Amino acid sequence: MGSMAEAVFKKHDVNNDGKMDAKELQAALKELDVTASSNLLKATMVHYDKAPKNGVLELNEFKNLVADMKAIQNSKREEVLDAFFKFDKDKSGFIEPNELKEVLTYLGLASGEEIVNTMIGVADSNKDGKISITELANVMGHTVVGAEDIQQWTE
C-alpha cells in the first residue's frame, strides 16, 4: 500500500516540493476514485495536516489518508449498521455530534470537536445538524440511495 500511495503522491505533487496542496490532493483523490467536494477537501486537509499545520499534506500524512480510506472502503455494511445502531444511543434514528464523537473513537479515528463538526458538515447532506444512516453510509463509502436500499441494507 505504501508504494501505491507514494506513486500517487509523487504523480500529483506537480511542483515536486514534497507537499500536496488542496488542488493536488483533489487530483490524487480522483485517481483513487474519490470525488471530493470542497467541504470534503477542507475536512481532509484539517484532519490529516499534522504539526506544523502548514496547510498542505506531506507524504506521511497522505499515506495516513490512504490507509484510512482503505479501512473505510473495506468496512462491511454490517459494521456500518452496527456502528450506527450502537451509537444512536437515544434511538432517534440519527447520530448527533456527541454520538458521532463516540463513533469516531470506536472506529479508532480522531474525535476532537473540530473534526466532529467538520464531519457533520461533510456528512450532513440535508444540513439538519445530525447524521442519518444514509448519510453515514455515504460517508463510509457505501452509497444508499432510497428507501428500498435502506430496507435491503438492514435485512
pTM beyond cutoff 0.85: no
* Residue 66 shares a structural domain with residue 23: yes
* Residue 88 shares a structural domain with residue 145: yes
Question: Tens digit of pLDDT for each residue in 73-105?
Answer: 666 666 777 777 777 888 888 889 998 888 778
Domain membership of residue 146 as a residue range = 77-154
* Residue 88 shares a structural domain with residue 150: yes
Q: What is the pLDDT of residue 61?
A: 92
Q: Closest Cα partner for 108 from 68, 142, 79?
A: 68
* Residue 51 shares a structural domain with residue 99: no
* Residue 96 shares a structural domain with residue 129: yes
Look-up of cell digits 489518508: 65
Q: What is the pLDDT of residue 2?
A: 54
Q: Is 54 exposed, middle or buried, given 0-12, 13-18 or 19+ CB atoms closer than 10 A? A: exposed
Instruction: Tell which of 25, 40, 73 closes a domain.
Output: 73
Separation of alpha carbons 65 and 49, rounded Å: 10
Number of domains the chain is built from? 2
* Residue 93 shares a structural domain with residue 120: yes
CATH number at residue 20: 1.10.238.10
Look up residue 137 and give its three cell numbers: 453510509
**Strand, helix or coil for residue 94:** strand
* Sequential pLDDT tens for the chain (155 residues): 457 889 999 999 999 999 999 999 999 988 887 777 777 788 788 878 888 889 999 999 999 888 877 766 666 666 777 777 777 888 888 889 998 888 778 777 777 888 888 878 888 888 899 988 777 777 666 555 444 444 454 44
